[in-house]
Amino acid sequence: MSAVALPFPSQHRQVLLLALVLLLASVALLLLGVSVGSTGFESVRNMLDDAQALQIVREIRLPRTIGAWLAGALLGLAGAVAQGLFRNPLADPYLLGSASGAMLGETCALVLLGVSPLAAHWLVRIGLTSAAFAGAMLAVLLTLLLAKGVQHTLRLLLAGVVVGVVLGAVSSLILLFNPNLMQAMQSFMLGSTAFVDWTACALMASVLTVSLIAAWMMSHVLDGLALGESTAQSLGLRLPQMRVALVAVLALATGTAVAQTGLIAFVGLAAPHLVRSVVKTTHGRLIVLSSLMGAVLLMAADILARWLMAPQELPVGVLTAVLGGGYLLWLMHRHTGRGAGL
Amino acid sequence: MPDTSSVAMDSVAIDARSIRASLGNVEVLHDISLTLPAARWTSIVGPNGAGKSTLLKVLAGLLPYRGEVALLGRPLPAMRARERAQQLSWLGQNESSADDLTAYDVAMLGRLPHQAWLAPPSAQDHAAVERALHATQAWDWRGRALGQLSGGERQRVLLARALAVEAQVLLMDEPLANLDPPHQADWLRMARKLVNAGKTVVSVLHEVSFALHADELVVMAAGRVTHQGACGDATTHRALEEVFDHRIAVHQLAGQWLAVPRI
Amino acid sequence: MNILSYPLALWERVGVRAALLLFLAVAPARALQLVDDRGVTVTFAQSPQRIVSLLPSLTESVCAMDQCQRLVGIDRYSNYPESVRRLPVMGGGIDPNIEGIVALKPDVVLVATSSRATSRLEALGVKVVALEPKTHADVRRVLRKLGALLEMPDATGADRLWRIIDSSVSAAAQSLSPKAKSSRVYFEVSRGPYAAGESSFIGETLIRLGVKNVVPASLGPFPKLNPEFVVRANPDVIMIGNRSMQATVPYPGWGSIKAVREQRICVFGVNESDVVVRPGPRMAEAARIMAKCLEDKAP
Of A4, A6, A231, the CB nearest to B92: A231
The DSSP bridge pattern shows strands C184-190 and C212-213 to be parallel
Question: Would residue A168 count as lying in a domain?
Answer: yes
A99's enclosing H/E stretch is helix A98-115
pLDDT of residue C91: 86
pLDDT of residue C114: 83
Rg (C-alpha) for chain A, rounded Å, is 21
- Residue C111 φ/ψ region, left for φ over 0, alpha for ψ in the -120 to 50 degree band, beta for the rest: beta
- CA B249 – CA C235 distance, rounded (Å): 97
Torsion of CA A113, A118, A124, A129, to 10 degrees: -60
Nearest chain A residue to B148 by CA: give it: A340
Q: How many C-beta atoms lie closer than 10 Å to residue A41's C-beta? A: 11
Among the residue ranges A179-188, A299-308, B173-182, B207-216, the one predicted with the least confidence is A179-188
pLDDT of residue C243: 65
The DSSP bridge partners found for residue A222 are none
- The pLDDT of residue B98 is above 90: no
Those residues whose C-beta lies under 8 Å from the C-beta of residue C103, and which sit 6 or more positions away, are: none
- CA A317 – CA C76 distance, rounded (Å): 32
C219 interfaces chain A, CB cutoff of 8 Å: yes
pLDDT single digits (tens) A259-293: 999 999 899 999 999 999 889 889 999 999 999 99
Greatest Cα pair distance in chain C:
93
Domain residues for A96?
25-338
Interface test with C, best of A190, A195, A309 (most C CBs within 10 A): A195
Provide DSSP, A12-38. Answer: HHHHHHHHHHHHHHHHHHHHHHHHEET
Packing angle, helices A316-338 and A267-278, rounded to 10: 40
C-beta atoms of B143 and A10 within 8 A: yes
Query: What's phi and psi for B249, nearest 5 deg?
Result: -135, 140
Task: Render the burial of C283-294: b for 16+ CB within 10 Å, e for the rest.
Answer: bbbbbbbbbbbb
The DSSP bridge pattern shows strands A36-37 and A40-41 to be antiparallel
pLDDT of residue B187: 92
DSSP state, residue C51? E
CA distance, residue B89 to nearest chain A CA (Å) = 7
- The pLDDT of residue B120 is above 90: no
Query: What's phi and psi for A229, nearest 5 deg?
Result: -65, -45
Banded model confidence at residue A4, pLDDT cuts 50, 70, 90: very low
Question: Would residue A16 count as lying in a domain?
Answer: no
Interface test with C, best of A312, A314, A316, A318 (most C CBs within 10 A): A312
Q: Give the domain CATH number at A257.
A: 1.10.3470.10
**A chain contacts of residue B89, beta-carbon cutoff 8 Å:** 234
Among the residue ranges A25-39, A302-316, B6-20, the one predicted with the least confidence is B6-20
CA distance, residue C107 to nearest chain A CA (Å) = 27
> What mean pLDDT is predicted for residues A78-86?
94
pLDDT single digits (tens) A295-317: 999 999 999 999 998 888 899 99
Q: What percent of chain A has pLDDT over 70?
A: 91
Looking at C88-181, list the stretches that DSSP marks H as alpha helix, in order from N- to C-terminal side: 98-103, 118-123, 136-149, 158-174, 178-181
pLDDT of residue C191: 82
C-beta atoms of A280 and B122 within 8 A: no
pLDDT single digits (tens) A196-213: 889 899 999 999 999 999
Nearest chain B residue to A227 by CA: give it: B97
- CA B60 – CA B91 distance, rounded (Å): 10
Higher pLDDT, residue C156 or B108? B108
- The pLDDT of residue A219 is above 70: yes
Q: How many C-beta atoms lie closer than 10 Å to residue C124's C-beta? A: 12
Sheet containing strand C51-53, strands side by side: C71-74, C51-53, C108-111, C128-130
CA distance, residue A69 to nearest chain C CA (Å) = 17
Domain count, chain A: 1
C-beta atoms of A313 and C245 within 8 A: no
pLDDT of residue C84: 92
Number of Cβ pairs < 8 A linking chain A and chain B: 102
Classify burial at A189, counting beta carbons within 10 Å of its beta carbon; exposed 0-12, middle 13-18, buried 19 or more: buried
- Residue C66 φ/ψ region, left for φ over 0, alpha for ψ in the -120 to 50 degree band, beta for the rest: left
Question: Would residue A64 count as lying in a domain?
Answer: yes
Question: Would residue A1 count as lying in a domain?
Answer: no
Banded model confidence at residue B194, pLDDT cuts 50, 70, 90: very high
pLDDT of residue C248: 60
Among the residue ranges A35-49, A97-111, A321-335, the one predicted with the least confidence is A35-49
- CA A110 – CA A102 distance, rounded (Å): 12
- CA C224 – CA C192 distance, rounded (Å): 6
Closest CA to B62 of B93, B107, B36: B93
**A chain contacts of residue C189, beta-carbon cutoff 8 Å:** 183
- The pLDDT of residue A141 is above 50: yes
Q: In whole angstroms, how far apart are CA A9 and each of A1, A5, B72, B234? A: 12, 8, 39, 55
**Do residues A83 and A272 lie in contact, with contact meaning Cβ atoms separated by under 8 Å?**
yes
Question: Would residue A56 count as lying in a domain?
Answer: yes
> What mean pLDDT is predicted for residues B28-42?
93
Interface of C with A in 187-206 (CB under 8 A): 189-194
**Do residues A89 and A270 lie in contact, with contact meaning Cβ atoms separated by under 8 Å?**
no
pLDDT of residue C20: 56
Task: Render the burial of C197-228: b for 16+ CB within 10 Å, e for the rest.
Answer: bbbbbbbbbbbbbbbbbbbeeebebbbbbbbb
pLDDT of residue B87: 94
Q: Which chains does chain B touch, 3 or more C-beta pairs < 8 A?
A: A
My answer on whether omega of the bond before A311 falls inside 30° of 0, hence cis, is yes
Banded model confidence at residue B10, pLDDT cuts 50, 70, 90: low
Residue type, C152: M
Of B62, B115, B117, the CB nearest to A230: B62
Question: Would residue A3 count as lying in a domain?
Answer: no
Banded model confidence at residue B4, pLDDT cuts 50, 70, 90: very low
- The pLDDT of residue B138 is above 60: yes
Banded model confidence at residue B6, pLDDT cuts 50, 70, 90: very low
pLDDT of residue A80: 96
Among the residue ranges A52-56, B109-113, C65-69, C265-269, the one predicted with the least confidence is A52-56
> What mean pLDDT is predicted for residues B235-263?
91
Question: Would residue A15 count as lying in a domain?
Answer: no
Q: What is the pTM of this model?
A: 0.85
pLDDT of residue A265: 85
Q: In whole angstroms, how far apart are CA C248 and each of A113, A121, A193, A196, C251? A: 9, 10, 18, 16, 9
Those residues whose C-beta lies under 8 Å from the C-beta of residue A156, and which sit 6 or more positions away, are: A86, A96, A143, A144, A147, A150, A247
Of A226, A236, A237, the CB nearest to B98: A226
C-beta atoms of A121 and C247 within 8 A: yes
Q: How many C-beta atoms lie closer than 10 Å to residue A308's C-beta? A: 13
Task: Tell me the pLDDT of chain B averaged across its residues.
Answer: 90
Closest CA to B170 of B67, B71, B35, B69: B71
Packing angle, helices A98-115 and A182-190, rounded to 10: 150
CA dihedral sign, ordered C17, C18, C21, C26: negative
Q: How many C-beta atoms lie closer than 10 Å to residue C129's C-beta? A: 23
- The pLDDT of residue B9 is above 50: no
Closest CA to C95 of C71, C78, C76, C113: C76
> What mean pLDDT is predicted for residues B46-72?
92
pLDDT in tens, chain C (299 residues): 454 555 656 656 665 666 555 555 544 556 789 898 888 899 999 899 999 999 999 999 999 988 999 999 999 889 889 999 999 999 887 788 899 999 999 999 999 988 888 888 998 999 999 998 888 898 999 999 999 999 888 887 888 889 988 999 999 999 998 888 889 999 998 888 889 999 999 999 999 999 999 999 999 888 999 998 998 889 999 998 876 665 466 788 888 888 888 889 888 877 888 888 888 889 889 999 999 999 888 88
The DSSP bridge partners found for residue A203 are none
C-beta atoms of B122 and A8 within 8 A: no
The residue length of chain B stands at 263
Those residues whose C-beta lies under 8 Å from the C-beta of residue A212, and which sit 6 or more positions away, are: A77, A287, A288, A291
Rg (C-alpha) for chain B, rounded Å, is 18
Question: Would residue A273 count as lying in a domain?
Answer: yes
